[in-house]
Structure 1
Amino acid sequence: MSAPSEDLVIALYRLGLVQRSIARHALAELGSQGFTALAVIQREGHVRVSEVADQLSVDLSVASRQVAALVLAGYVEREPDPDDRRATRLRPTESGTRVLTDSHRRMVATATSALSGWSDEEIAGLASQLERLREDFATVASLPTRQEHAA
């Protein structure tokens, strides 16, 4: 018999497989990494690549590659940083905002379909528990907390 923590890790791994499957279908234009990077840029406004890396908890080189792909696809534009002429800031293009909105809508539709047998209270409870889990992991794994995402 396995420990509850081990069961949770296995369930999270399986949930990751579901997330990747959703990403393949709902995020066809972006891929899950592109979607997440674009979402950070959309949410934060005019940001530097280093800020995207911080928000995603990835190395600067990883964020740079993701941003470069978004720029190449026409979803993000670089503009001079008014505070530092050597740096650039990122902002989503109209096309980037549209693809982000469309991808989000498809993910919500997929979740709605998958959870059609669940009550609103069950869905809200799961969302709350998952957020609690993410927050608890953030304290031990140096992930951004809800407050850091909101700031």
Structure 2
Amino acid sequence: MPRPEATPAVEVDAAHIVELERALARVAYLLTRVRRHDQAMVQCGLTMDRASVPLLRLLADADEPMRLGELATRLDVEAPHVSRQIQRLEKAGYVERVPDPDDRRAQRVRPTAAGRRAVEAVREVLRGWMREALADWTTEDLEALAVLNHRMVDDFLDHAEFIGDLGATVRDRPSRSA
């Protein structure tokens, strides 16, 4: 989908940016609330703490096993936090450590089959909530929302040096035509 002619940033209405930031903050809050996480875990039949879910999702989406340091960088958290979460996920059977082919002293982590099933179960619950919440939206509105959200994330990534490392990489980015 071709991008419309962009208005230069100096001409962007500050009120629109304020409202966009407020809307994004509301979405982030709604998606990361403890109660929402607890409800999702009950619906999935899983026991997993809130901090483990994004870590397991990142591993499930990775093309290959990842080092702990890379996970910490991608999630923008401290390495000891990732180490503790990996230990919990490993104990629960959701991840396993494998030798690092580039360094015999190091290990990488990958999801187990149970870990991949857990990620898909969480995603299905979240998609169900989205389907319910957006049931009255038209197909065209849903498509436009998805396209604009991908475009926004792409632009955030393009300007990451100004807003900090967002943890995502080019590999995570769907094509703008998607």
Q: TM-score range by the shorter chain?
A: 0.7 to 0.9
Equivalence for 2:57: 39
Question: Quick check: 2:74–2:168 contact (8 Å CA) kept in 1?
Answer: no
SS in 2 for 1:46: coil
**Does residue 149 of structure 2 align to residue 130 of structure 1?**
yes
**Does residue 48 of structure 2 align to residue 30 of structure 1?**
yes
Equivalence for 1:59: 78
TM-superposed deviation, 1:54: 2.6
Equivalence for 1:143: 166
Equivalence for 2:139: 120
Bigger Cα displacement from structure 2, 66-75 vs 92-101 = 66-75
Equivalence for 1:98: 117
Structure 1 residues 6 and 24 mapped into 2: Cα distance closer, same or farther (>3 Å)? farther
Distance in 1 (alpha carbons) for counterparts of 2:115 and 2:101: 23
Amino acid at match of 1:57: D
Question: Quick check: 1:135–1:145 contact (8 Å CA) kept in 2?
Answer: no
Equivalence for 2:24: 12
Alignment of 1:75-86 (within 5 A): 75-86=94-105
Amino acid at match of 2:26: R
Amino acid at match of 1:25: Q
**Does residue 82 of structure 2 align to residue 73 of structure 1?**
no
Distance in 2 (alpha carbons) for counterparts of 1:52 and 1:119: 37
TM-superposed deviation, 1:112: 0.6
**Structure (1/2) with the larger helix percentage:** 1
TM-superposed deviation, 1:97: 1.2
Q: Percent identity?
A: 31
Moved over 6 A (4+): none
Distance in 2 (alpha carbons) for counterparts of 1:27 and 1:136: 33
Distance in 1 (alpha carbons) for counterparts of 2:61 and 2:41: 18
TM-superposed deviation, 1:24: 3.6
Question: Quick check: 2:37–2:50 contact (8 Å CA) kept in 1?
Answer: yes
Aligned residues: 149
Scaled by the length of structure 1, what TM-score is found? 0.84
Unaligned runs of 5+ in 1: none
Scaled by the length of structure 2, what TM-score is found? 0.72
Listed one character per residue, the Cα deviations across residues 64-93 of structure 1 (whole Å, up to 9, x for unaligned) are 232222112211011222321211111111
